[in-house]
């Protein structure tokens, strides 16, 4: 009998995101900058003596789903994504599978895709499939498409399995003959420490309505909407410039460039921003932030700001007084781990 497997996968803060919508990337490319943080998704797998497959999500109203055997897995049922993933593996035994996130749902930190990679990594370990990072990321993407009937991005599947740190991620256009490129930006210890000191991450209190925004972006790309397409291309251009700035250890450049991204992001759909997000943005800037943006699709979730020198405490305090929840974050340099 195989042993218990635990998997830990870091969530991410995207300095530049929303540029990984796959049809857009295939058409004209897309570039991303994100950082893996020490807030995690966990998966714990325990082999059973029978054929039952039991799913447990303690952070999702303590939901438990019991399936009699692999032949009865239902990707359209409760915890359907996990059921779809398990169906891709030939298990010689049943399993108890528990997953949970350290962060609230709808935070815009890539949790749903990170859960998928966690489950895949656990099943890969217990079955001995020995999937590559690419195979795990692509399986996560394919399973999400099958179970959730969505085809959006790719950064959240590739981010944890390709290691930690601050990463530049690029999808080349289909006619380039190239595909996905992942580069860890080389930062020395001082630059990493400066990023951790300056970065202020807070939860707005709003669980973001991601699907409506993502659907609108998809429709805009399909229709060739000039505003949507130019915004995505502009965000990718900022990612390219930010990569160069960070490679030269110019950490002070991050804040203003986050604001450039946020301005372009808002051109994608009216629901990207709202009164609460604008209030928190103004509060942080007045307290000493040099820039910031909403993570993920927008509309709510998590915001990231960069503070001017020695203003990070003031920015955090001002956001607390505005009833935002502050997350103390450091950079995870490991990526996905299993034991």
pLDDT for 2: 72
**Structural domain contains residue 334:** no
Q: Do 137 and 229 belong together in one domain?
A: no
Q: Do 248 and 303 belong together in one domain?
A: yes
Q: Do 65 and 135 belong together in one domain?
A: yes
pTM here is 0.94
Q: Do 250 and 135 belong together in one domain?
A: no
Task: Measure the CA–CA gap between 259 and 189, rounded to whole angstroms.
Answer: 25
- How does pLDDT run across 122-138, given as a tens digit for each residue? 999 999 999 999 999 99
Task: Find out whether 46 and 95 touch, Cβ atoms under 8 Å.
Answer: yes
Question: Which structural domain, as residue segments, surrounds residue 303?
Answer: 187-327
pLDDT for 148: 84
pLDDT band, very low/low/confident/very high, at 208 (cuts 50, 70, 90): low
Q: Do 47 and 179 belong together in one domain?
A: yes
pLDDT for 214: 86
What CATH number is associated with residue 94?
Answer: 3.30.230.10
**Residue 169: CB partners within 8 Å, gap ≥ 6?**
20, 31, 32, 33, 34, 155, 158, 159, 180, 181, 182, 183
Sole residue written with tokens 């990612």: 239
Backbone angles phi, psi at 125, to 5 degrees: -70, -40
Task: Please say which residue of 153, 183, 213 terminates a domain.
Answer: 183
What is the percent of the chain with per-residue pLDDT over 70, rounded to a whole number?
99
Task: Please say which residue of 183, 204, 235 terminates a domain.
Answer: 183
Number of domains composing the chain: 2
**Structural domain contains residue 333:** no
Residues facing 101 on adjacent strands: 41
Can you tell me the mean pLDDT for 230-249? 97
Sole residue written with tokens 């394919």: 142
Residues facing 294 on adjacent strands: 303
Q: Do 151 and 208 belong together in one domain?
A: no
Task: Please say which residue of 183, 201, 224 terminates a domain.
Answer: 183
Task: Give the three-state DSSP class for 50.
Answer: coil
- How many residues are listed for the chain in this entry? 339
pLDDT for 209: 58
Q: Do 201 and 61 belong together in one domain?
A: no
Can you tell me the mean pLDDT for 259-269? 96
- How does pLDDT run across 268-327, given as a tens digit for each residue? 999 999 999 999 999 999 999 999 999 998 999 999 999 999 999 999 999 999 999 999
User: Does 151 have pLDDT greater than 80?
Assistant: no
User: Does 1 have pLDDT greater than 60?
Assistant: no
Q: CA of 143: how far to CAs of 78, 85, 113, 210, in Å?
A: 15, 6, 10, 19
What CATH number is associated with residue 210?
Answer: 3.30.70.890
Can you tell me the mean pLDDT for 327-333? 95
Q: Which of 199-203, 216-220, 243-247, 272-276 has the lowest mean pLDDT?
A: 216-220
pLDDT band, very low/low/confident/very high, at 210 (cuts 50, 70, 90): confident
- How does pLDDT run across 44-74, given as a tens digit for each residue? 999 999 999 999 999 989 999 999 999 999 9
- How does pLDDT run across 31-51, given as a tens digit for each residue? 999 999 999 999 999 999 999
């Amino acid at each position: 009998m195989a042993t218990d497997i635990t998997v830990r996968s870091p969530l991410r803060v995207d300095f530049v995101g929303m540029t990984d919508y796959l049809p857009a990337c295939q058409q004209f490319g897309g570039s991303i900058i994100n950082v893996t943080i020490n807030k995690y998704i966990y998966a714990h797998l325990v082999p059973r003596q029978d054929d039952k497959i039991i799913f447990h999500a303690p952070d999702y109203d303590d939901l438990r789903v019991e399936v009699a055997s692999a032949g009865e897995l239902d990707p359209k049922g409760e915890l359907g994504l996990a059921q779809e993933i398990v169906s891709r593996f030939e298990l010689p035994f049943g399993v108890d599978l528990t997953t949970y996130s350290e962060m609230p749902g709808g935070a815009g930190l890539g949790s749903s895709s990170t859960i998928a990679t966690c489950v895949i990594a656990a099943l890969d370990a217990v079955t001995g499939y020995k999937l590559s990072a690419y195979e795990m990321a692509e399986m996560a993407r394919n399973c999400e498409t099958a179970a959730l009937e969505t085809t959006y991005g790719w950064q959240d599947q590739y981010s944890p399995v390709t290691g930690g740190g601050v990463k530049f991620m690029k999808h080349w256009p289909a006619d380039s003959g190239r595909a996905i490129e992942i580069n860890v930006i080389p930062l020395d210890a001082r630059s990493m420490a400066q990023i951790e000191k300056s970065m202020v991450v807070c939860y707005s209190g709003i669980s973001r309505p991601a699907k409506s925004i993502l659907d609108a972006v998809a429709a805009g790309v399909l229709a060739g909407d000039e505003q949507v397409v130019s915004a995505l291309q502009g965000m990718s251009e900022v990612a390219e410039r930010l990569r160069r700035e960070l490679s030269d250890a110019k950490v002070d450049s991050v804040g203003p460039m986050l604001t450039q991204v946020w301005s372009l992001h808002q051109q994608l759909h009216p629901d990207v921003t709202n009164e609460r997000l604008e209030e928190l943005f103004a509060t942080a800037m007045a307290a000493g932030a040099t820039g910031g943006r909403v993570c993920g699709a927008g509309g709510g979730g998590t915001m990231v700001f960069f503070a001017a020198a020695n203003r990070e405490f003031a920015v955090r305090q001002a956001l607390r007084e505005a009833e935002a929840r502050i997350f103390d974050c450091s950079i995870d340099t490991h990526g996905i781990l299993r034991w």
